[in-house]
Amino acid sequence: MQAKAATSEAGRSVAITPAQRVVLESSEWFAALDPAFRQAIVASSRVMTLPVGGAVFHRGDPCDGIYCVLSGAVCFSGSAPSGRGSVAALVEAPQWFGEIGLFDGGARTHDALADITSTVLHLPLRHLAKILAHDPGRWRQLGLLLVRKLRIALTLLEDMALEPPRVRLARCLINLLEGYGQRKAAPSYSLRVSQERLGMMLSLSRQTVNELLRQLEQDEVIQCRRGGVRILDLGRLTEAARGAS
């Protein structure tokens, strides 16, 4: 089911280009792998192009491998029977995703849809299984990718219960800026994320997010732009994320 959905909504899979390889190498997780593991991943993977709204996979689909964003952005979302939607994360290059199902054999937990026209690297499960069978010690490397995300998820849950909206917003902006800890290279200080998306990620109304962003803008910490935010003072944003007024 998942493979059919991805194939129907994505462009034809092709081999990775040298420019895309540079993006891939900027992933902290990928760059830390041993050279043979990195080469095996590249040799066994293909690049897909997704239109806006194109599905990488849907909630409930079986795991078919792991992915890395090479350009654009992928939004992880869900919806309740009432129709109310939520956004769990917005991932950009060079972030990896899709590894949860490797460990428990379970289905996908969210819809993963291209937020804008995007390219993603896909390492199919059948190829990854062969790579891991050749050297079972590499499971630990995949475990490190999963555990890093688990630490962030637990922190976000604690923030939701204990921290005020301003702190949560500042931490969310930093997480987006740093690619949830997956970027090796210095990030751009411009974020392409709407107030509506931020509200869904933080369980806040768009009006509350707008007010908080305007306060940070008045303090010259950020600059609000159409469909995004530019970080002007990362040090002060970090202070706000720690709860400083």
If 0-12 CB within 10 Å is exposed, 13-18 middle and 19+ buried, where does residue 40 land? buried
pLDDT > 90: percent of the chain: 77
Q: What are the tens digits of pLDDT across the range 95-128?
A: 999 999 999 999 999 999 999 999 999 999 999 9
| CA atoms within a 13 Å half-sphere pointing along the CA-CB vector of 47 | 18
Please write down the long-range contacts of 170-174, taking CB distance under 8 Å and 24 or more positions apart. Answer: 170/216, 170/237, 170/238, 170/240, 170/241, 171/241, 172/198, 172/201, 172/202, 173/222, 173/229, 173/231, 173/237, 174/234, 174/237, 174/238, 174/241
Cα(117)–Cα(23) distance, integer angstroms? 17
One-character DSSP codes across 79-124: E-TTS-EEEEEEEETT-EE--HHHHH--B-SSEEEESSSEEEEEEE
pLDDT on residue 126? 96
pLDDT on residue 239? 95
Q: What are the tens digits of pLDDT across the range 18-64?
A: 999 999 999 999 999 999 999 999 999 999 999 999 999 999 999 99
**CB-based contact 44:123 (threshold 8 Å):** yes
Q: How many CB atoms lie within 10 A of CB 141?
A: 16
pLDDT on residue 6? 47
Binned at pLDDT 50, 70 and 90, residue 7 comes out as very low
Cα(239)–Cα(54) distance, integer angstroms? 37
Q: Is 55 helix (H, G, I), strand (E, B) or coil?
A: strand
pLDDT on residue 129? 96
Q: What pTM did the predictor assign? A: 0.85
List, in sequence order, every beta strand (DSSP E) within the chain.
Answer: 46-50, 55-57, 65-71, 73-79, 85-92, 96-97, 111-114, 118-124, 190-191, 222-225, 228-231
Binned at pLDDT 50, 70 and 90, residue 245 comes out as low
Q: What are the tens digits of pLDDT across the range 203-230?
A: 999 999 999 999 999 999 999 999 899 9
Q: Is 72 helix (H, G, I), strand (E, B) or coil?
A: coil
pLDDT on residue 243? 86
Cα(177)–Cα(173) distance, integer angstroms? 6
